[in-house]
Structure 1
């Protein structure tokens, strides 16, 4: 046998022994829906009738509000009389829910109507009852223009096209002129803050004279409802009260989906923080603070947002006190130097800071001893949740924010609570003046303050 014959024989034997490679099934990324859509004639494909725009919470800021305006093939209602009544709805768990049963649906097609009556009822509101129908939804899972420095999940950016696709499908099935507003960040647009409502009023040229607040309403699932047993089944409490609070903020009626679509009676609800407990006390507040010494050091103690700065400007500045504030001076050492300089010049000083713990306060007590001046304490007994509310009011309303302060992170309040010990006379104070919270401002400012901002 020749060498070439032997070689072919060996190769043949090797091929017989070695098993053939396994063939892997190709994984296609093409869905059945995409295939069906590809073969659908262009004349039969539904036209995307939703136009999308983005809006910023402030001049120069990145856009955070996504706005989708749907106009049916028959056109909008621009030539008709202005619709003065607004029927506003939340989206998830109010108009729609996931078809898969997942709490948070990621796929654009994973949705169904919350109840079979929803589309017919919304069409009736628009066609027969003369309402302007609007959707106001918080969508914190979307990111329109994420800050490159922030750790925004990539998925938040990727979800935007899918959300638009789902929203367009919802609006197409309703097929009435309708605008959807989606707040993606924790700014003035996010419910219960009134930013989205203000946008819709601007878009449809509605103001106090033309808007029928009495007959307008908002429907949402975040109503602050308590947990209860119904027919032997446990019904959990609502995750928040933001939808009910939005309705309060704009002065319209609130209903849950169960009340509006199913005709069920209202359930008991509760707010963790209720503004009804803080009525307007008038501008002529009784002053609880008096100057006792020619030169003295006054130490404030209380959470961020407790009203310390407002109290200083209203009650201590007129008495001739100078203010030392670490938010302005940026370091504790600069605060100590500024206070020392003022006292050596014979000026009384107020230390406008949180001073949460005895160790921090002890440093100021030691300074007062060194400078040989009395030290007093003003204790702001303000609940932390109320302070968070005050901070949000200040940051989101320029006319109540003369120092242009930014909203504080949650950590500023939890950090204070973790360190806080109430001040005691034995720490070295001449006296402790206790200040319970009262809104200190004009009646017009109170109208802004007495909205829900968290």
Structure 2
């Protein structure tokens, strides 16, 4: 039992007991619950008989709470206060209406002390929430995985919990409240730190409002709608382009050869190899796996000496890089062909995040590449030409291949890695 403090007036009550529980979750996700939101759910039945729950989703910092000290970032677990005095009463009102309350937050300070202070703060917040009001809080810790907004990993965790109970989140009547809307600075009000809350809401299919609209009844502020950012749909119908140009000859050949891939990272090169070349006996040469170009050249030459065709799956961005392989082909007196991947650089950056955060389980796990990998490619790129010594050059347009669910995620806004 905690010690009882004394005051000039005698005994006072001990500090309130900690509230809430941390649920089992992956290392890059915090999952905290205060009370059971399913204990007395007020739900409505859809025509199919499933129960739908309206949910008020909230960002945390800058939406429900802010630093008491007035600093940009909190200094300790106690350095917080409600964003506005009306917040607790609004939460109570929504609970009384049968809505569930769920917080979706991006955290990410790698220092363990800071993370432990933040986790300790959740219990303190729970003690200040009006009595008997359940709240679920999820926080993404990594800055480069599927949980981090605007990616929808945290929402998917919640969605699974509801489905396991035979419930469905009522997206039509749910809302996401967040301060990261992409607003520009105005007067004494600084600009938003980003637009991840707005993009997250769009990705999930939720109505989005700012804290000023939700708690204070202000008119909708001005911010880019739709948000600034890349979506594959902005490139038009990629599927309408021919996959291979020219397309009248077979992709593979029966005779010994070198096939050289040219294209930015995340432009579909390795997937193209796995789909077309292994069944025809081609060996895979990749510098990311083998370490150095010299080793790639040695191993490729060994395969060719054994009568095995090879595919060089690297970016091969300029004439100087490609010349090493042309010289090998000339010395061994075998043909060398190029497949040039025509994926736009913005789409390649998008694919980079998609495959790191949502990559199919039947494909190798890919790490998130830094933006510099794409900018350095663009600076050094030289378009391949027949006069370099190639026997053939074919273009490959990017076509997304995957399930409907994978396609839906690929079509979303992705988190934007820092430079």
Band the TM-score falls in, shorter-chain normalisation = 0.7 to 0.9
1:423: how far off? 3.4
Residue number among 298, 304, 307 corresponding to 2:265 in the alignment: 304
Residue number among 218, 229, 248 corresponding to 1:272 in the alignment: 229
Q: Which moved more, 1:156-165 or 1:275-284?
A: 275-284
**1:11-410 → structure 2 map (5 Å cutoff):** 39=7, 41=11, 43=13, 45-56=15-26, 63-71=27-35, 78-81=39-42, 84-127=53-96, 129-141=97-109, 143=110, 156-175=111-130, 176-186=133-143, 187-205=145-163, 210-225=168-183, 227=184, 233=187, 237-262=191-216, 263-269=218-224, 270-277=227-234, 286-288=243-245, 289=247, 290-291=249-250, 294-315=255-276, 321-344=282-305, 348-397=309-358, 399=360, 401-410=362-371
Distance verdict in 2 for CA 1:444–1:185, change over 3 Å: closer
Distance verdict in 2 for CA 1:296–1:369, change over 3 Å: same
Q: Is the 8 A contact 1:291 1:319 kept in 2?
A: no
Partner of 1:210, secondary structure, is strand
Q: Is the 8 A contact 2:359 2:366 kept in 1?
A: no
Q: How many residues align?
A: 394
Partner of 1:336, secondary structure, is helix
- The gaps in structure 2 that reach 5 residues or longer are 44-51
Which residue of structure 1 aligns with residue 48 of structure 2? none
Measured in 1, the distance between the counterparts of 2:350 and 2:219 equals: 33
What per-residue deviation string (whole Å, max 9, x for no partner) do you get for residues 297-326 of structure 1? 221122221111122334555776543223
1:447: how far off? 2.3
What per-residue deviation string (whole Å, max 9, x for no partner) do you get for residues 363-382 of structure 1? 11211211223333322233
Whose RCO is larger (CA < 8 A, sep 6+)? 2
What per-residue deviation string (whole Å, max 9, x for no partner) do you get for residues 181-239 of structure 1? 122113332222222222223444468962211112211122234x36x5xx3765533
Partner of 1:439, secondary structure, is coil
Measured in 2, the distance between the counterparts of 1:157 and 1:38 equals: 34
Q: Is the 8 A contact 2:37 2:135 kept in 1?
A: no
Partner of 2:339, secondary structure, is strand
Measured in 1, the distance between the counterparts of 2:324 and 2:400 equals: 31
Measured in 2, the distance between the counterparts of 1:439 and 1:449 equals: 9
Which residue of structure 1 aligns with residue 394 of structure 2? 433
Which residue of structure 2 aligns with residue 3 of structure 1? none
Which residue of structure 2 aligns with residue 450 of structure 1? 411
Q: Is the 8 A contact 1:88 1:135 kept in 2?
A: yes
Measured in 2, the distance between the counterparts of 1:224 and 1:317 equals: 46
Measured in 2, the distance between the counterparts of 1:235 and 1:421 equals: 46
Measured in 2, the distance between the counterparts of 1:321 and 1:208 equals: 49
Q: Which moved more, 1:323-332 or 1:278-287?
A: 278-287
Q: Is the 8 A contact 2:244 2:395 kept in 1?
A: no
- The gaps in structure 1 that reach 5 residues or longer are 1-34, 57-62, 144-155
What per-residue deviation string (whole Å, max 9, x for no partner) do you get for residues 57-78 of structure 1? xxxxxx232222223xxx8651
